[in-house]
Amino acid sequence: MSTQLNETHDPSLTSWVDSANGGGSDFPIQNLPFCVFRRRGSSEAYRGGVAIGDQVVDLAALGDAFAGAARTALQLAAREQLNGLMDAGPAAWSALRLALSRFLRSDAPARPDVLIAQADAEYAVPAQIGDYTDFYTSIHHATSVGKLFRPDEPLLPNYKWVPIGYHGRSSTIGVSGRDFRRPRGQTRSSSGNEPQFGASRRLDYELEVGIFVGGGNAQGDSIEAGQAEEHVFGLCLLNDWSARDIQAWEYQPLGPFLSKNFATTISPWIVTLEALAPYRAAWQRDAADPQPLPYLDYPALRAEGAFDIELEVLIETEGMRREGVAPARISQSNFRHSYWSVAQLVAHHTVNGCALRAGDLLGSGTQSGPDAREAGSLLELSAGGKQPLSLPNGEQRVFLEDGDRIVMRGWAARDGRPRIGFGEVAGTVLPAR
């Protein structure tokens, strides 16, 4: 794991793209997150892009602007999907990042011809996601939800020993801005006898961080925890939409199924681990808790195994849109509260010989903090539907209603350094079919 800073992290750097300067953007020159995009409403092929201020650098338009390893990486990044770049490894990622940084700096010749305004772009899922695994890394979320589902044993004995995860559905992962139908399924009836079938009445969001795998491992091999971040291309925001009533009926004994696989939404931007190097945080484990087994431990874990990323959730109801009321923040948390680190998730996923591939996606699980206001789901905020949330226009919510739009945002900030953001991931609930 390398967290060394280099010239791309220099806080004094500015860009000839004016909107990237001054601290008002998620995307200063120190960030440079990747996406896949095309002009909105066009039939153009999707291709790789990088955010700078309120613009996208069209990587396909750069042609032969770079040389050596950066040129090779650029050719991979300009494709319709980023899997090739992800598979190329940290040296290629770093070479391209450095070349882009130098290309975009204030003292370089301006090239507005390679820019497209983000407002004029539409985005696609940035990689072919072969497999998707969702973890359960917030002990605060696990404990709160456990109290609702299993009052006698909220936190199961294995939680503090092993990163818990389940296999998700990659075919229903979409990019920010999507609308999706309220799911239908079986739920427990009020009589407790035969279940009933219909639209979910307890639809929820989950505030998560997505982890895109870079180079994978051969089947039968494992990735050591200390080298695991060399296999991580970057992070995004992730909303794991959840039907809590379907979940409560189906989750025992094998865990979530239809309650989770109907929709997952991610932000279009992938922030690289190199961009996040100045925003590392200490990873903490209570001394009274079990310490990680050797395969989940590594020298840099406690000093800088976590990421200091602020996360927030906002809601915009149909009524709020009609009345011109701005989306309302309903919670804010931080990724540093995660009980398991990114590297530990990768190491655990492969310790049995499971092969990860470039473009695979891992979800962090709902990121709730220790304070009740830091809960990453409505299930927690409403105490299982018993305590409605009051919104600025007088409406109340216990779970999501049709027309509700959820917006999640994330950013990293530190004194003396620029704020780098993840953009946002947004999605709207449509009525069930």
Q: What SS3 class is residue 296?
A: helix
As given in the structure block, the two tokens for residue 366 are 């709902």
The count of other CB atoms within 10 Å of the CB of residue 392 is: 12
Cα separation, 279 vs 269, in Å, equals 18
428 within 8 A of 402, measured Cβ to Cβ: no
Nearest to residue 155, comparing CAs of 167, 164, 165, 147? Answer: 147
Selected catalytic residue, list 141, 337, 348, 349: 141
DSSP state of 139: H
Length of the chain, in residues: 433
Cα separation, 5 vs 41, in Å, equals 40
Nearest to residue 399, comparing CAs of 248, 250, 266? Answer: 248
Cα separation, 60 vs 58, in Å, equals 5
Cα separation, 93 vs 119, in Å, equals 26
Q: Tell me whether residue 141 is one of the annotated catalytic residues.
A: yes
Q: What SS3 class is residue 122?
A: strand
With a CB cutoff of 8 Å and minimum separation 6, the contacts of 75 are none
Cα separation, 115 vs 111, in Å, equals 8
Cα separation, 39 vs 392, in Å, equals 36
Q: How far is CA 241 from CA 50, 345, 424, in A?
A: 27, 21, 15
Nearest to residue 86, comparing CAs of 77, 75, 97? Answer: 77
The count of other CB atoms within 10 Å of the CB of residue 369 is: 20
Cα separation, 177 vs 194, in Å, equals 37
215 within 8 A of 232, measured Cβ to Cβ: no
Which residues are paired to 132 by β-bridges? 361
**Region class of 385: left (phi > 0), else alpha (psi between -120 and 50), else beta:** left
With a CB cutoff of 8 Å and minimum separation 6, the contacts of 127 are 36, 81, 82, 83, 86, 212, 358, 359, 361
Active site residues: 141
